[in-house]
Chains A and B, each alone.
Chain A
Amino acid sequence: MAESTEIQKFKVVGTRPIRPDGIDKVTGRARYGADYAFPGMLHGKVLRSPHAHARIKSIDIAKALKLPGIKAIVTAADLAPLPENKTEAVGEAAMNPRYLSLNILAREKVLYDGHAIAAVAATSPHIAEEALRLIEVEYEVLPPVMTVERAMEPGAPILIPELRNPESGDNPTNVAMHLPVKKGDPDAGFKSADFIVEREFHTAMVHQGYIEPHNAVGIYNSDGHATIYCSTQGSFDVRSMSAKVLGIEVGKLKVVPAEIGGGFGGKTTIYLEPLSVLLSQKTGHPVKLVMSRSEVLRASGPTSGSTIRVKMGATRDGKIVAAKVWMAYEAGAFPGSPVTAGAMTILAPYVIENVQIDAYDVVVNRPKTAAYRAPGATNAAFAAETVIDELAEKCGIDPLEMRIRNAAHEGTPHPFGPPYKRIGFVETCEAIRNSAHYKSKLTGANRGRGVAAGFWFNAGMQSSATVNIHTDGTASVVTGSPDIGGSRASMAMIAAEVLGLAFEDVRPLVADTDSIGHTDVTGGSRVTFATGMAVYQAAQDAVNQLKERAAKLMDKKPAEIEFHDGVFAATGNGAKPMKIKELAGRLARAGGPVTGRANVNARGAAPAFAATCVDVEVDPDTGKVQILRCTVAQDAGRAIHPSYVEGQMQGGTAQGIGWALNEEYVYDAKGVLRNTGLLDYRMPTCLDLPAIDAIIVEVPNPTHPLGVRGVGEVSIVPPPAALANAIYRAVGVRMTELPMSPPRLLKAILAARHEPRLAAVN
């Protein structure tokens, strides 16, 4: 692997060209999943449970099948037999295929409001919808379990009768996993502390809020092969998961990733995809399914609500000496919340010698959670960064200085043990401290400023790339990473940099699963890092092949050819140098076409840190929070396309603000979701958000050829804590529950007015 190129001068990397997919998107030519249409195509709809928890006694489809225009109905009986109950590698992802199947179509029980039960295909969406009304399902309604507290109580209703964990013995449980972590001697650490803060935090289940609903078109051919067109962050994962659920070979399934209207982690699993194939197989027609917004909210994969208790102690000089954390995350209906990531991130920015963490993955009667931008870390940081803020206040230390004094850096251990390599947390905090925002004075009643920091691992994983040299010396770069954040531009820029071409001379493409080597999901902030590494190596491979061709044409040995700035030149005297464009036109006489290839299982993924500073004004009569100013700093390693890095930082911050102030799943006593549209599920609009200043910090990742770390996630982590800290300075109440919506904040303000001791209690 190449070493970092800190001293390297770039010509394309670091510039801000216009994205190559931009024209298609602004002219409406880009094809999203719902845009696909094929001759004879049918339309599918999904019957969903109206109950949060119920036993399915019977499903009668007879009446529905008689409806004119109905072509097929499928239930769980049409899926492959349930696999064994264990986590295994499906494709390259680890998951429990049994639970995956049970989430696609319920079998004996429904486990959340919206849980899919059956799917129909008809000649029109309206007939399909009408057929859903004619399917008769008899339920035995069971008591819903909506919170981790209730789920963990002795005697709580059990969602999955066979669920066990190593501590539950042979007893059924709703706790899917307990992860204990212990380092040093926390009790002794607390004894040495001058100040101790202990609080309990609650965060609500929230949705990623991608604008494009899930969709899939399935086409089953009579030869046993099938194609799925869908909106996904990971076409190879859709292929392997769908193959598992359907019981067909991976090689018989092709997945074509459509243009994607947002994902943020929520499009890393499957819902409609296997149903589209199943219905196509039954009818002999292509079948398209598209979720409504209500279905997206009820039955896709939001992220966990959580309960987190943090106890932290510091000495008078601001050194954090001990921390204890108890955290329980809602997994939804099946195991697999991001609580592990929460546990691994909650104290990750800091050097703390004495640590104890107990993390619990808990099933509840809510939709199965999926990834959401730095999964698990935002909940965790809300708790830890609020407590650190309070400790800083008790120590009389500036909150940023408090973080810098305790900051992890190269060589210090992560709380789980391994030492950090080169990281940029201190640089990130200092970027905020040196910003015009932080240096400015904030005045006025009910106004406050808050800061908070965040950590995310960033991932490596597998990627493939090919670089084709065209006869006119331009190139195309092909990857398998669906572009959700401008990665096509970054891939083209990396290839252009290596090939010595202009950005406009490289066209990037995202290929289907038959047309490119295995590529893991677009997630974990990994694409610019890992797929970028594959593109870098594929372009280098193309350059090496071109050197051989140039050598042939110049009558030299390949080792005698140097390549610099798009020009191939022989060492010593003799041959005339050739530009890549000239050489490309002569390839037919020098051995034929050139395609560079690379496949990587990328090592050396390096963590990212972010710090956010926010000013707010609180209306003490309504509890409404108005954001006055917001600045985010983030270590990108190397910003390939600074505008898109800034876009990721601003987008993550905007989502963090929504999570902090307004967004939440609201269930009634029966476990039925009450806010199933975007009028009631309150995401931020442009009226809620300030201009967000983005400061890119570049501490290059030494193990990436261009120094890339990854930028897609960490900026969502600090905003809720930064806002809570700002609200405290504005009106004197410590908010410990998300969202800090007007009713909740007003209640806290009123409680503090009447009883100051209650100021910290929600």
Chain B
Amino acid sequence: MATVFIPAALRKFSAGRERAIAHGRNVGQLIDDLERQFPGIRAQLVESDDVKPSIAVSIDGEIAVGGLLDPVHESSEVHFLPALSGGAI
């Protein structure tokens, strides 16, 4: 059971909730569980079977690099953040 923090832009899917408990051993499974709780949220986070290029996933304070396959632990704190861009087109 990881704690997932819902970014402000996606709180319309979570009825305004800022955090949720989700199950899964990796980011992909976590997002699947979020989708069960908050229908429509998956499409905001996933595209072409990967985390959207515009999204970065922070797991326990560290930016993950493995996309949907990054492991998540029971006590993990997961944040979905905007991916940084230095002005990319």
Contact = CB atoms under 8 A, between A and B. Distances in A.
Contact of A418 (B9, B54, B61): B61
B18 to A, nearest CB: 8
B15 interface: no
A157 to B, nearest CB: 21
A604 B60 CA distance: 11
Interface residues of B, number: 26
Interface string B52-63: 111000100111
B53 A301 contact: no
Contacts of A371: 86-88
A438 interface: no
Contact of A524 (B52, B58, B61, B86): B86
B88 A93 contact: yes
A524 B63 CA distance: 14
Given A418-B79, A603-B62, A605-B63, A99 B9 contact: no
A88 B53 contact: yes
Contacts of B52: 87
B79 A417 contact: yes
Contacts, number: 106
A94 B85 contact: yes
A162 to B, nearest CB: 15
A427 B62 CA distance: 22
B87 A336 contact: yes
A99 B89 contact: yes
A336 B85 contact: yes
A99 B88 CA distance: 10
B89 A95 contact: yes
B83 interface: yes
B57 to A, nearest CB: 10
Nearest to B65: A601
Contacts of B39: none
Contact of B63 (A87, A95, A372, A460): A460
A112 interface: no
Contacts of A416: 7, 79, 81-82
Interface string A410-454: 000000111111000000000000000000000000000000000
Interface stretch (A139-147, A338-346, A723-731, A748-756): A338-346
B5 interface: yes
A531 B5 CA distance: 32
B87 A87 contact: no
B7 to A, nearest CB: 8
Contacts of B48: 88
Contacts of A523: 86
B40 to A, nearest CB: 12
Contacts of A341: 84-86
Contact of A340 (B5, B58, B62, B84): B84
Nearest to A335: B89
Interface in A77-92: 87-89
A752 B50 CA distance: 56
A703 to B, nearest CB: 8
A268 interface: yes
A368 B89 CA distance: 8
A152 to B, nearest CB: 18
Interface in A356-406: 368-372, 375-376
Contacts of B54: 87, 94
A564 interface: no
Interface string A567-611: 000000000000000000000000000000000011111000000
11 contacts: A87-B53, A88-B48, A268-B88, A335-B89, A338-B87, A340-B83, A343-B82, A376-B86, A417-B5, A417-B81, A601-B65
Interface of B: 5, 7-9, 48, 50, 52-54, 58, 61-65, 77, 79, 81-89
Given A265-B87, A368-B89, 18 more contacts: A89-B50, A94-B85, A336-B87, A338-B86, A340-B82, A340-B84, A368-B87, A370-B86, A371-B86, A376-B86, A416-B7, A418-B77, A419-B61, A523-B86, A601-B65, A603-B65, A604-B62, A605-B63
